[in-house]
Amino acid sequence: MEGVFVRLLRRGECVNPSSLKAALQMQRAQQVSRDGSFDLPCSADTAFPLFSPEGEKGWISGWDPRPVFPDRIAYSHDTVFREGKGDEEALWTIIGADPEIHRAEYVRLAPASHAAHIVVKIESLGPGRCRVSVNYTVTVFGEGTTPLLEAFSATAYAAKMRSWQHQISAYLENRKLDAIRPSPQ
């Protein structure tokens, strides 16, 4: 942070506090991109809807997307929804969702802290198996960027992918069990 201040002084520029604060905030913005993948015990056709706003409700505890446009959440281009509460609330826009090639793309904006571009691709590995690849490019800005950057370290991102694999596999297993359980009479 001192680097900006020293450079301005060396150039002989008058430093007004608001300009310095803006320069320091710009300096703090950082971007990180991570790729990860995991295999699932289901077809790509089964996995793809699990990465829709509504599909994620099944395997992410507390996930509660709310429509912005249109009036209901559709898994399609230009759908906008909100998710989260308070400072954690973010606006999500679906850039693309193609069930034929099993690819979804989102932009997420949390106005106080970060923006993210997310791409999910699912490839078939044969009957009843698929590989999910997830790319996150996150730009953090403003105050408190360290925890966000730590959440996207290589180690943390790999852990996130393992967690997603576990959560989705458990969800799929529960769905399978629900399908074979006799219904109460």
Peptide bond preceding 70 in cis form (omega within 30 of 0): yes
DSSP letter at 50 equals G
Residue 10 scores a pLDDT above 50 = no
In order of start, what are the domains of the chain with their CATH numbers?
Answer: 29-180 (3.30.530.20)
Residue 118 scores a pLDDT above 70 = yes
Q: Are 57 and 64 in contact (CB under 8 A)?
A: yes
Residue 129 scores a pLDDT above 70 = yes
pTM across the whole model: 0.80
Residue 22 scores a pLDDT above 80 = no
Query: What's the count of helices (H) and strands (E) in the chain, helices before strands?
Result: 5, 7
**How do residues 29-88 score in pLDDT, each as one tens digit?**
899 999 999 999 999 999 999 999 999 999 999 999 999 999 999 999 999 999 998 878
Written as six digits, the tokens of 162 are 């393992």
Residue 131 scores a pLDDT above 50 = yes
- DSSP labels, 126-160: ETTEEEEEEEEEEEE-SS-HHHHHHHTSHHHHHHH
Q: What is the pLDDT of residue 148?
A: 84
Polymer length of the chain: 185
72 residue type, one letter: R
